[in-house]
Structure 1
Amino acid sequence: MRIERIGDGGDPADVLRALASLAVDRGTPAPAALIGDWFGSLAVLAPTVHTAPVGTASAFGLSDRETDTAQEPGNDRPVIGGGWIGYLSYPDTPVGGATAALPAAAGGWTDSVLRQDRDGCWWYESLTDDPCPTAWSDAITAPTAPAQPWRIEWTAPDRESHRHGVLQCLEAIRQGEVYQACVCTQFRGRAEGEPLHFFADAVAATRPARAAFVQGEWGAVASLSPELFLSRHGDLLRSSPIKGTLPIADDPDRLRASVKDVAENVMIVDLVRNDLGRIAVPGSVTVTDLLGVYPAPGVWHLVSTVAATAAPGTTTADLLEAAFPPASVTGCPKHRARQLLSHWEPDHRGVYCGAVGFASPLAGTELNVAIRTVEFDPDGNTVLGVGGGITIDSDPDAEWQECLDKASSIMSLG
């Protein structure tokens, strides 16, 4: 284990560009990134990481590498050191047989990371005894790689197909099949330029709380998510589902006053409590923040937080079996909602509504909900999923507008 203080440096997006340029010069794999609010830090960058498709059961698994959390000297946040970074796609396939653009799961292991703490100080952390390469520290202190041009031509989803799905959901609610479900659709596009430069520009422009980037020969995932799906630090579990959205120009007090949004959020909180309760110490599941209103790129969101203590012996695989896919992008009751959604949605969600994140043997695991997430295949095709929760009070036209509002922060880039 080795930790070096590097000091002040560039913005995470600029450092990421510098690391990408270095990887190209050296012919090494591209960097990966977590930017926003991850592991108590502002950014966690893997300077170079070979990623590849993996079996879904292997995603975020550490097996014998899992240990007790360590502490950074002078800091009560755990050292990250290294770990597995990648994604796990939404698991359900539409009954029509549509396939996803990217592998079901992909990622890779890194022995070292560059971390920017809450005070803006950069650190080199490694699970090995190797010192920080000079080129990596230079990428932090003097990131000179310029932004590179990129362009995405988007094609809007089929509005009538989305409306049909919403109407089917409303009928299922009236019939008592579900109380709520998240009906989704997709923008598709063609990209020019490198996905990493799209991500760097998007993060700098929108400052999402749970942004993540992973790239490989299989394609790339650029997630601008505002939502925490699951964190585990020691035995402490936490999930912060988002339900309820307004455009950023609107009065945020309208969210707390909305019967529809409040009801939807509370239903999903109960669903998260049930999910975590399956692997938690009895009596430990609590709601630590209910119906908070917080800004995200282009919108206001209604956010709640559920915490729990994991039962002894609980593994990451156990957590994912209990809680994945995230409650906020499925419905209530969860199992029936997932069954019905596979009939209502013609497209495979792919990475969208899955999870992107990092599993460290020292610091634990943090995963976002892969919303506001652009998928790039190796041929330059892109997918952006959007959706919203449907309740008995939902209006199909308003639900379509919510999809557009959620996509607007990405559509307006470039």
Structure 2
Amino acid sequence: MRTDRLGDLGTAADVLRAVAGGAERHRLAPPAALVGEWFGASALIAPTVSVRAVDSAEVFAVPPGNSGEAVGGGWIGYLSYPDAASDGSPPRIPEAAGGWTDSVLRQDQDGCWWHESLSGATIAGWVSDALSSPPPRSTYEIDWEEPDFARHQGGVLAALAAIGAGEIYQACVCTQFTGTLHGSSLEFFADAVTRTTPARAAYLAGDWGSVASLSPELFVRRVGDEVTSSPIKGTLPLQCSPDELLASAKDVAENIMIVDLVRNDLGRVADTGTVTVPELLTVQAAPGVWHLVSTVAATVRPDIPNAALLDAAFPPASVTGTPKGRARQLLSQWEPRRRGVYCGTVGMASPVAGTELNVAIRTVEFDAHGTAVLGVGGGITADSHAEAEWQECLHKAAPVIHDSRERSTAS
């Protein structure tokens, strides 16, 4: 393991753009990035990663690290939401993809950048050159289409009927914006993280397309034998008072039901008696909205692999419903299009620092032809109103699709 101080290189978006330009000039695979609150850092950028399709059972298959603030490298990738939708269409991009990086550029909380390498290698010459001579900024534009209001409302009403019949207590009913990308998906991501500063943002790309996740939500953090999950349930527009969120019986119930589901999920692999809720119903700001956030913690044996943890907890509780199995079955009938990476997870498993995965909400999936898909949704409970749930979807989507028009060096 080697760590070298690089100093102030600029923002995460600046560094990502610079190494992307260098990788392209040297005909290397594009970079990958985690930006926000990952592994105690402000940003992690792998200068070049060959992100390839893999079997879903192979994702994040790295022994859990448990020491130090350094990350060094590891396996970075994504796993899609596993269920099909009512139209029966196949996945738009691989269901799972990722790749190994031996080194990362890490920005600490003070803004200083470091080069870290698991093998002890020094920073590559092309990376140094790229950081010292960043390319002109690229442009992008996304032509978004409106989601299907009628289908979403039908799904919400069906969920309310199923709740009334006692089949389920809650379900996360989703809809999709679709669009066409003109230009660079990396530039879209770099621009979006600068505008919205999400806590769990991630970017990956390959020949298959790319994923730009602007998520605020932690699915799983594992450091050694300690596991935490911080489900988000409960939403209010940012212009409203956060006190209104805690006063909402519907939002509080929505969160507590999902906390119980996360406790059950982690309990499948945790040591008996170790599942706790150290944080319940805190109000946190996210791009465009307030959220209710809770945290569930557990202890797992070191010999429990990440695959077993995912088997127990994936897909994330906050994007499914209760009971989880029946909610997933019904959602596949109510939602017309496959969710894809949306509601799956993106993250990294480091043999040094552990594993951190987001819940892939506020996430745009781009295929190789430039088709963009953005999923949005919300938890339906007995107190839900269909029109209000639609407005919640629009509030969540607004920071992502806002001003996704052509940008240039002058912007």
* TM bin (shorter chain): over 0.9
Q: Deviations over 1:227-252 (max 9, x none)?
A: 00001011110100000111111111
1:254, 1:143 → 2: CA distance? 49
| Counterpart in the other structure of 2:375 | 385
1:69, 1:288 → 2: CA distance? 20
1:88 and 2:79 aligned: yes
- Equivalent pair of 1:173/1:180 in contact (CA under 8 Å): yes
1:27 and 2:24 aligned: no
Aligned CA-pair RMSD: 1.2
1:356, 1:328 → 2: CA distance? 15
Say which SS state the counterpart of residue 153 (structure 2) adopts.
Answer: helix
Offset of 1:166 from its aligned partner?
0.4
Q: Deviations over 1:167-204 (max 9, x none)?
A: 00000000000000000010000010011010000011
1:327, 1:394 → 2: CA distance? 19
| Counterpart in the other structure of 1:103 | 94
2:281, 2:135 → 1: CA distance? 42
Q: 2:66 aligns with which of 69, 87, 96?
A: 69
| Counterpart in the other structure of 2:106 | 115
Offset of 1:339 from its aligned partner?
0.8
- Shift of the 97–68 alpha-carbon distance from structure 1 to 2, 3 Å rule, reads closer
1:162 and 2:159 aligned: no
- Equivalent pair of 1:236/1:310 in contact (CA under 8 Å): yes
| Counterpart in the other structure of 1:74 | none
| Counterpart in the other structure of 2:329 | 339
| Counterpart in the other structure of 2:366 | 376
Offset of 1:69 from its aligned partner?
2.9
1:175-194 equivalent positions in 2, closer than 5 A: 175-194=165-184
Offset of 1:374 from its aligned partner?
0.4
1:373, 1:219 → 2: CA distance? 14
Say which SS state the counterpart of residue 44 (structure 1) adopts.
Answer: strand
1:349 and 2:346 aligned: no
Runs of 4+ off more than 2 Å: 66-71, 133-140, 142-147
Q: 1:230 aligns with which of 220, 232, 244?
A: 220
Say which SS state the counterpart of residue 228 (structure 2) adopts.
Answer: strand
Give the AA of the match of 1:23. A
- Equivalent pair of 1:14/1:143 in contact (CA under 8 Å): no
- Equivalent pair of 2:64/2:355 in contact (CA under 8 Å): no
2:269, 2:178 → 1: CA distance? 38
1:405 and 2:398 aligned: no
1:114, 1:199 → 2: CA distance? 18
Instruction: Using structure 2 for the length normalisation, give the TM-score.
Output: 0.96
1:312, 1:122 → 2: CA distance? 31
Instruction: Using structure 1 for the length normalisation, give the TM-score.
Output: 0.96
1:252 and 2:242 aligned: yes
| Counterpart in the other structure of 2:49 | 49
Offset of 1:96 from its aligned partner?
3.3
- Equivalent pair of 1:202/1:413 in contact (CA under 8 Å): no
Offset of 1:9 from its aligned partner?
1.7
1:329 and 2:329 aligned: no
Offset of 1:67 from its aligned partner?
6.1
- Which stretch of the first structure deviates more once superposed, 320-329 or 118-127? 118-127
- Equivalent pair of 1:6/1:137 in contact (CA under 8 Å): no
Offset of 1:139 from its aligned partner?
4.4
Offset of 1:285 from its aligned partner?
0.8
Give the AA of the match of 1:407. A
| Counterpart in the other structure of 1:319 | 309
- Shift of the 382–68 alpha-carbon distance from structure 1 to 2, 3 Å rule, reads closer
Aligned residues: 404
- Equivalent pair of 1:255/1:302 in contact (CA under 8 Å): yes
Give the AA of the match of 1:7. G
